[in-house]
């Protein structure tokens, strides 16, 4: 049933968020540290584990894939509710600091991508 997939996704999501919040509390941060990451790992590992046992039923999988497909529309909605005016009110300091940090990150992508990269993917384009 479709709801089984949605419920499974909800379980992974909540367990991840709780783990992230507990980790945050443990290191003294009022917030969620890597909650989404833990949830994703849980779903990937769980999915992998189930695959060896015949995998999820297609309808059940559909409950998860629906939300995966809703991801881009949600991002579009998210873009429309950003505090874009704040970006302008911070003045030049904010503008330059934000741009510098982003450009710096972009420039390091090719450098760090070399770390631990399997030889096969060097030529492979996905």
Neighbouring CB atoms inside 10 A of 41's CB total 14
Q: Per-residue x/- mask for other proteins, residues 23 to 62, rule CB under 8 A?
A: xx--x-xxxxxxxxx-xxx-xxx-xx------------x-
If you compute the radius of gyration of the chain from its CA atoms, what whole number of angstroms results? 20
Smallest separation (angstroms) from other proteins to the CB of 20:
7
Of 53, 54, 58, 73, which one interacts with other proteins (CB under 8 A)? 73
* 74 lines the binding site for other proteins (CB under 8 A): yes
Binding to other proteins, residues 2-21 (CB under 8 A): 9-10, 12-13, 16-17, 20
Smallest separation (angstroms) from other proteins to the CB of 26:
11
Q: Compute the distance between CA of residue 87 and CA of residue 53 in angstroms, rounded to an integer.
A: 50
Smallest separation (angstroms) from other proteins to the CB of 92:
7
Q: Compute the distance between CA of residue 104 and CA of residue 119 in angstroms, rounded to an integer.
A: 26
Sign of CA dihedral 13, 8, 65, 124: positive
Binding to other proteins, residues 84-123 (CB under 8 A): 84-102, 104-110, 112-113, 115-118, 121
Q: Select from 59, 62, 64 the least CA-distant residue to 44.
A: 64
């Amino acid at each position: 049933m479709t709801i089984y997939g949605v419920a499974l996704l909800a379980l992974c999501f909540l367990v991840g968020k709780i783990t992230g919040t507990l980790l945050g509390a443990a290191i003294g941060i009022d917030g969620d540290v890597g909650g989404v990451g833990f949830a994703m790992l849980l779903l990937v590992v769980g999915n992998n584990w189930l695959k060896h046992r015949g995998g999820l039923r297609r309808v059940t999988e559909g409950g998860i894939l629906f939300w995966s497909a809703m991801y881009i529309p949600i991002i579009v909605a998210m873009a429309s509710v950003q505090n874009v005016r704040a970006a302008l009110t911070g003045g030049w300091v904010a503008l330059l600091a934000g741009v510098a940090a982003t450009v710096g990150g972009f420039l390091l992508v090719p450098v760090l991508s070399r770390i631990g990269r399997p030889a096969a993917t060097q030529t492979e384009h996905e």
